[in-house]
Amino acid sequence: MSQKRARKAVDSASREGAATVAAGPRKKAVWNALGVAGLAVAAFALTFGITKFGKKAPAAASARAGQAPPGMRLVPGGEFVMGTDAESAWPDERPPHRVRVDGFWIDEHEVTVAEFRRFVEATGYVTTAERAPDLKEIMAQSPPGTPEPPPEVLVPGSLVFHPTEGPVPLSDYSQWWRWTPGANWRHPNGPGSSTDGKENHPVVHVSWYDAQAYAQWAGKRLPTEAEWEFAARGGLESKPYAWGETPPGAGGKWQANIWQGQFPYQNNASDGFPTTAPVGSFAPNGYGLYDMAGNVWEWCADWYERGLYARRDGLCVNPAGPAKSDDPNQPYTPERVQRGGSFLCNDDYCSRYRPSARHGCSPDTGMSHVGFRCVKSLSDSKPAQATD
């Protein structure tokens, strides 16, 4: 299937079926579990959970400007072309425009299960997926007239990917995403599963709130969307991929953990990994950063605005995103930016492992292909506020 045909099969705002036309994925899945078809519902928001922020992570607290914090790489400031007009681009990647960012430190790889475990053990933090959905929050962000879900479905859980048995309509993400009670970062496939032997894999089933809480504890922050793209490009200007121009898999060489085969039922795993890969399994980009393409989606600090780039004029300096979310396809759901694509990205359906690709997702939503990495400013000054 060509990319043009694939885009006709799915809404242009979706990625790997994890988004819906007017509903946050986590909340939509709860309603699907009830068998309530056709409801356009918005995602619910959850609080940070139970966290003790009494002290920072020792390594991050001791880092000083000019001295590389452990596990981080320096990204020098500079100008670049953000976005693209390439044929593979989705509407929210256009138009390309000039952006300048200051230098910053960034984690060389995604936050791992082991790193997140240390955070939880130090703080007692409880993730979004480990907390029951809040009925008041659900109804506050649902379309008028939406019936209340029964109490028995308001249980902790998350969305888990399940390959289908054969070809299915690519417009129906519920064919391969399932709301799974008990799924969370400790049990990525639900009760009975574990992260044993995967301590060096990226942590998944983390919401934007979870990522923010970790970053605060670590003395870091989430990257702005502009910082993330600048870092992902690794010093290359306007190249389609984080590694340059060579298509992934050319000559039998895979540069990122993405889907090989027919999505969503046949994954050849030619890259060696049917799901997440240990961080650092593929060559780093020009800044020494691993997995800026594929493996898991990564949360950014910014609110998501679908038509943001069309509003920008001239050189944008340290843009930190809009003041609020704006996505016509998600009118009831505030969304935060995700970048980088995941092990589910496939060119027949979604090619969002490219550095310019962007997506919005409800901040309460954790999934089996969503993680994050952090950044740290070179000085102790606070990051820029929303500027768009």
Domain containing residue 273: CATH number: 3.90.1580.10
Has residue 21 been placed in a domain? yes
153 confidence band (pLDDT: 50, 70, 90):
confident
pLDDT at 380: 63
Has residue 310 been placed in a domain? yes
Has residue 46 been placed in a domain? yes
Q: What is the mean pLDDT of residues 283-288?
A: 98
SS3 56: coil
Has residue 26 been placed in a domain? yes
With tokens 């060696």, the residue in question is 272
Q: Which tops the pLDDT comparison, 13 or 111?
A: 111
pLDDT at 44: 28
Q: Total domain count for the chain?
A: 1
H helix or E strand, kind and range, residue 159: strand 157-161
Domain carrying residue 274? 1-53+77-143+153-381
Non-local CB neighbours of 238 within 8 Å, separated by 6+ positions:
81, 84, 96
Has residue 246 been placed in a domain? yes
Whether 341 contacts 353, CB under 8 Å: yes
Has residue 61 been placed in a domain? no
In this prediction the pTM is 0.86
How do residues 84-115 score in pLDDT, each as one tens digit? 999 999 999 999 999 999 999 999 999 999 99
Has residue 387 been placed in a domain? no
Has residue 58 been placed in a domain? no
Average pLDDT, the chain: 85
Reply yes or no on whether the pLDDT at 50 is more than 50.
Answer: no
pLDDT at 14: 37
Whether 195 contacts 188, CB under 8 Å: yes
Reply yes or no on whether the pLDDT at 51 is more than 50.
Answer: no
pLDDT at 24: 60
139 confidence band (pLDDT: 50, 70, 90):
confident
DSSP letter for 245, please.
Answer: S
